[in-house]
Amino acid sequence: MSSAVFFQIQSLLIMVLMGYGISQAKKRDRHVKIMSTAIIWDIILVLQIEFTRSAIIKASKIMTNPTMLKIHLFFAISSVLLYFVMIYTGRRVLRGQVELRKKHKKIGWLTFTFRILTFVTSFYAVQK
């Protein structure tokens, strides 16, 4: 199995885990554990890709990269940045700042959408 297929399988499993975690939002403890696992796993996946493909060096060649790779990088980097926003707002909600719950939910859907788009664009990005 090629590394690309291995990464795609992991990516799909992460998205399934995130979807399940979202469905468990009303069960706060379970939601937090599942989403934390998905986020950590996704960051580990990014590190795996970096160590096997030198992704940062390739990404830094912004002027010569194909458009689809640029789009993929936008969604991938944005997803990771949004994870930190989700962690921050989620921890605040857990500490009792319930007024952040709506914001956390909206940003959560944006994060999940970006993660799905990262997955979809990854099929085109790995073709180069």
- The predicted model scores a pTM of 0.88
The region of weakest confidence among 18-27, 58-67, 74-83, 103-112 is: 58-67
DSSP 98: G
pLDDT of residue 69: 85
> Smallest Cα–Cα separation from 18: which of 46, 37, 44?
37
Residue 63: band (very low, low, confident or very high) from pLDDT cuts 50, 70, 90: low
DSSP 54: -
Residue 51: band (very low, low, confident or very high) from pLDDT cuts 50, 70, 90: confident
Task: Assess contact for 117 and 15: CB atoms under 8 A.
Answer: no
Burial class (CB in 10 A: 0-12, 13-18, 19+), 111: buried
Crossing angle for the helix pair 3-23 and 101-125, to the nearest 10 degrees: 160
In tens, the pLDDT along 77-95 reads 999 999 999 999 999 999 9
CA atoms within 13 A on the CB side of 119: 18
pLDDT of residue 66: 82
Q: Tokens 């975690």, residue? A: 21
